[in-house]
Amino acid sequence: MVIRPLASSAVEAAAASIHPPRDPNTLSNYNAWRTKHTTANFEIDFEAKRLRGFVDLTLESLAKEETTIVLDTSYLDVSSVEVEAAAVEFDIASSRTGAYGSPLTIKLKQPYANGVTVRIGVSTTKDCTALQWLTPAQTSNKKFPYMFSQCQAIHARSLFPCQDTPDVKSTYTFNIRSPLPVLASGLPTGARDFLPGKDGKSGTLLYTFHQEIPMPSYLFALASGDLASASIGPRSVVWTGPEELKASQWEFEKDTEAYIQAAEKIVYPYAWTTYNVLVLPPSFPYGGMENPVYTFATPTIVSGDRQNVDVIAHELSHSWSGNLVSNASWEHFWLNEGWTTYLERRLQVAIHGDERHRDFSAIIGWKALADSIEQFGEDHEFTKLIPNLRGEDPDDAFSSIPYEKGFTFLYYLEKLVGINKWDTFIPHYFTTFKQRSVDSYEFKATLLSFFAKDAEAAAALNKVDWDTWFYKPGYPPKPSFNTDFADMCYDLAAKWLLLNEQQQDQSQSSSSWKPSASDISDFTGNQIVVFLESLQTNTTPLHPKLVSQMGAIYKFTDSQNVEIVSRYLVLGLKARDADVYPRTAELLGQVGRMKFVRPLYRGLIDCDEKLAKQTFEKNKDFYHPICRGMIERIFSEKAQGSA
């Protein structure tokens, strides 16, 4: 096959012939071509840590005379491109466009007004940002290797050439060959065609899946390893390692089906047939990833107390907001996460039967929002509901802001029109944009149109300052949340702060209150979180002796709930309690979830930079590439700040 490189201006020439796309974080010319179906044919090579095979992209032509196709790639090895079994010219740009990678330009021999299927031979490389490969030593039973993908936001392009934008949705077929069980973000259609291994090694099976509901590329998901499964409901299964299966089943079997039914009552019936959970190894960088059919989840939610299953409520809610109705670009990410956080909290009310649970969760969310805004700075672009991400890596903008600022906006709109009327809009919105991608302006137009004939609601919506909500950086107006469940947390924190004042100023009289384990015996896990966070936000850190005393009395470091342990350690780091430094380093070697890793590294760097660097060097191969890159940026920011 002869490959003739194209002119370096090919990408610009193709882009000039079409209207600007809505998504600034893709290099593909998706306004000229639109992917309708994707078939991924891969062999998982654990020894080489590669996916190898070919991908078929069926593309619809939107510009009938266009003969150039531009696809996103990042660190990919593309060996061939064929159309109708004949090789065609292709070129991958020699230089990268930052996080956006290197565009693959394909030159067709003629226009295909009715569409075309392109076959691309491809292999991932060692620099692939979407995959993590674990050796047997990195898994719980030390017996088998493991691999899993994480494609959000723009990492699918490091798996295969694609239009890596949420503005494009495709159906998918997965044909995946592996020596170990495979899961993918589609419905399984069988495992067959055994091939014996070479040189006496174990053979492979072909695992096949199909996803008939169009989904964006960031929801492409694969995992393969020593997996076992158990039922957690009439249409739900949990998958994880054999040793972790019993604990995971217990954690989820009580609430999963109840959550599904509650969500169906708020929106409409679940569309993806089955809802399953894959509990991944501890290096998974997120709490959960809403891949269709199989939510990928962190093992930190398996805490033995069912205190963290709200993560499942969140990921399940994505089955409607994000998966069926997707943000058109990462600038409109709040439409995914704000809606999902809103639905998650409505599910909590439905399950617990008490509206106060929603406000209590929102109080915790507001603290996360404040942390993100303070980290970026109140005037930072990334604190806007709709940030400008042109030229930016969406991962850099990732924070609690689209979740919590988005929730706050929807909560405000609900209160504005009244919950009964608002509840009629919810299924209308998710029906209007079902299997489509939507931006904030379409959301606004649909909302106003829906209530146009309701004079009272329309008048209320006319009061909305849309530009301020969409584009003003920093904090939104804070709602008046019910604090019934939080007040006892604040009261306990106040007692510790009084002890702290006495510790700092020996002239003060001693308090008659003495802390004991009974102080928190009736607290839920989230109430302990609120207690610890309220102490974190106090302007005067706790005295180190008080932190150690608290840990000894309440046994926080013995907890299996990482939400609690991590916040206690952050409190200790703020107090510069040297007793928590070793436990912090230990936890950073056990958990790769960025929610915990980010504040713990920031705190440890401030207290003991040498230990922080040693901890990272020791564990950098444990972390997922996305998490590892985030930690490296934290160190870089620290170095720049010290310069």
Surface-to-core class of residue 337, CB atoms within 10 Å of its CB (0-12 exposed, 13-18 middle, 19+ buried):
buried
From residue 136, give the alpha-carbon distance in Å to each of 144, 146, 266, 629. Answer: 5, 7, 43, 23
Judge whether 150 is annotated as a binding position: yes
Give the closest residue to 163 by CA, choosing from 348, 30, 261: 30
> Which amino acid, one-letter code, is at 484?
D
Report how far residue 227's alpha carbon sits from residue 281's, in angstroms, rounded to the nearest whole number: 11
Give the closest residue to 319 by CA, choosing from 257, 267, 248, 385: 267
Q: Is the peptide bond before 153 cis (omega within 30 degrees of 0)?
A: yes
* Residue matched to tokens 């949705």: 169
Judge whether 19 is annotated as a binding position: no
Judge whether 289 is annotated as a binding position: yes
Judge whether 287 is annotated as a binding position: yes
Helix (H, G, I), strand (E, B) or coil at 543: coil
* CB-CB contact of 593 with 286 (8 Å): yes
Judge whether 43 is annotated as a binding position: no
Judge whether 472 is annotated as a binding position: no
| Torsion-angle region of 448 (φ positive above 0: left; ψ -120 to 50: alpha; else: beta) | alpha
Judge whether 514 is annotated as a binding position: no
Marked catalytic residue, from 146, 403, 411, 601: 403
Report how far residue 148's alpha carbon sits from residue 157's, in angstroms, rounded to the nearest whole number: 15
Report how far residue 489's alpha carbon sits from residue 492's, in angstroms, rounded to the nearest whole number: 5
To the query of whether residue 315 is one of the catalytic residues in this protein, the response is yes
Length of the chain: 643
Report how far residue 516's alpha carbon sits from residue 526's, in angstroms, rounded to the nearest whole number: 19
Judge whether 357 is annotated as a binding position: no
Judge whether 24 is annotated as a binding position: no
Judge whether 337 is annotated as a binding position: yes
Residue 420 has phi, psi (to 5 degrees) of -65, -45
To the query of whether residue 146 is one of the catalytic residues in this protein, the response is no
Judge whether 151 is annotated as a binding position: yes
* CB-CB contact of 227 with 279 (8 Å): no
Judge whether 215 is annotated as a binding position: no
Cα dihedral across residues 323, 325, 326, 332: positive or negative: negative
Judge whether 216 is annotated as a binding position: no
Token pair for 307 = 């205190």
Token pair for 539 = 């302007």
Marked catalytic residue, from 315, 344, 404, 414: 315
Report how far residue 221's alpha carbon sits from residue 185's, in angstroms, rounded to the nearest whole number: 5
Q: Which helix (H) or strand (E) segment is 584 a member of?
A: helix 581-588
Residue ranges for the binding site?
A: 150-152, 285-290, 314, 318, 337, 593-595
Q: Which residues are catalytic?
A: 315, 403
- Which positions make up the binding site for Zn(2+)? 314, 318, 337
Q: Which residues are annotated as a binding site for a peptide?
A: 150-152, 285-290, 593-595
